A = this chain, B = another copy of it.
Amino acid sequence: VAGKIRAPDEFALIAGLFAPLAAGYSDAYGLTDDVAYLDVSGRDPGGGRLRRGEELVVKTDAIVATVHFLADDPPDLVARKLLRVNLSDLAAKGARPLVYTLAVMLPREVDLGWLERFAAGLRADQDEFGVMLVGGDMNATPGPSAFSLTILGAIPAGQRLLRSAAVVGDAVFMSGTLGDGALGLRALHGEFAELAKDERGYLAGRYRLPLPRLALGRRLRGSIHAAMDISDGLLGDLGHIAKASKAGGLIEVERLPLSPPARKLLERAPALLKTVLTGGDDYELLFTAPPEAEAALAAIGLELDIPVTRVGAIVAGKGVRVLGRGGREIRLSRSGYRHF
């Protein structure tokens, strides 16, 4: 049919670059069949397969060149971020990653070297996170490259971590540090010359290579109420939890966990608070739990060497309020892409 890649050849690209990524998963048949299979019986405990008593989690996320990444971004990091953004959603649901499919849309003149490095990035993260490519599609586009990834994960049946499970009175927690990703993007665009090179590099790395908190998500299951990952910014994403839970949210700025470079920037330019709260690309876990769980949650964080910080609360009402020094409310005109 129209639209298939011609040069060097769709089938050769799949066989050379992508089939090796499916080699560990026999039910993908080396990407030479039309579909992949997933044994859900629990009888086969092999990699990528469901265990007895588990249910499936499904997530799709796409990226487009010039929008989510740039032509001169390292292709391996582009691939790894795409995979990690999807893994981050699984992490927030306490899920174990299984397999993924990838739809690839490429200009007719394929840059084979770019694509090889892209595949190498997938390989690196497949090995790191124990997930495997099982299928996909490859097409030509007259526009920028684009990639859509659908990932399947597993949780024990009945242990869903929904956005809607927050309860008024819950404390709000997050993993890691806030704002590094959004500040990192600005650092990549040449801002923040006041920082040392390694500080800018740290922030840029946080933007380019999120850390899906898979182990933490799985450990939290059972101890927490609502959960999601922070991709659109803490303010907007806590708004999602609050709305789904028919409640309001509160963020205490003084409690926000900041990396040393982010703290330094914020001390010099307090207006960056908006970037920190709404810039997105954090891919940290955001979750709610009864306040008395704080010590236990912090202990889990210590054990996994990932800070777990109480940053706010679920309250009666609607929307999310941001409280600054002394409990005074701070108003931001935009949060993520939602008006408040």
Contact = CB atoms under 8 A, between A and B. Distances in A.
A59 B136 CA distance: 7
Contacts of A157: 39, 41
A9 interface: yes
A38 interface: yes
A338 B56 contact: no
Contact of A58 (B134, B140, B141, B143): B134
Nearest to A42: B40
A170 to B, nearest CB: 17
Contact of A56 (B40, B142, B164): B40
Task: State which size class the interface on A falls in.
Answer: 35 or more
A10 B67 CA distance: 15
A69 to B, nearest CB: 10
B89 A35 contact: yes
Contact of A59 (B34, B93, B144, B232): B34
A63 B11 CA distance: 18
A221 to B, nearest CB: 14
A150 to B, nearest CB: 4
A308 interface: no
Contact of A144 (B89, B90, B92, B141): B141
Nearest to A155: B37
A280 B291 CA distance: 61
Given A39-B157, A157-B41, A164-B29, A105 B337 contact: no
B146 A141 contact: yes
A244 B38 contact: no
A4 interface: yes
Given A32-B163, A57-B37, A143-B142, A62 B4 contact: no
Most buried by B among A101, A141, A153, A232: A141
Interface in A75-110: 89-90, 92-93, 95, 99, 101-103, 105
A37 B55 contact: yes
A244 B33 contact: yes
Interface string A123-158: 000000000001111011111101010101100010
Interface of A: 1-4, 6, 9-11, 29, 32-41, 50, 53-64, 66-68, 89-90, 92-93, 95, 99, 101-103, 105, 134-137, 139-144, 146, 148, 150, 152-153, 157, 160, 162-164, 185, 228-229, 231-232, 240, 244, 280-281, 337-338
6 contacts: A9-B337, A34-B92, A37-B55, A38-B58, A62-B103, A64-B139
Given A1-B232, A3-B63, A10-B337, 16 more contacts: A1-B68, A2-B67, A2-B280, A33-B228, A35-B59, A40-B50, A56-B56, A58-B101, A59-B135, A60-B137, A61-B103, A62-B103, A64-B105, A67-B139, A67-B142, A148-B148
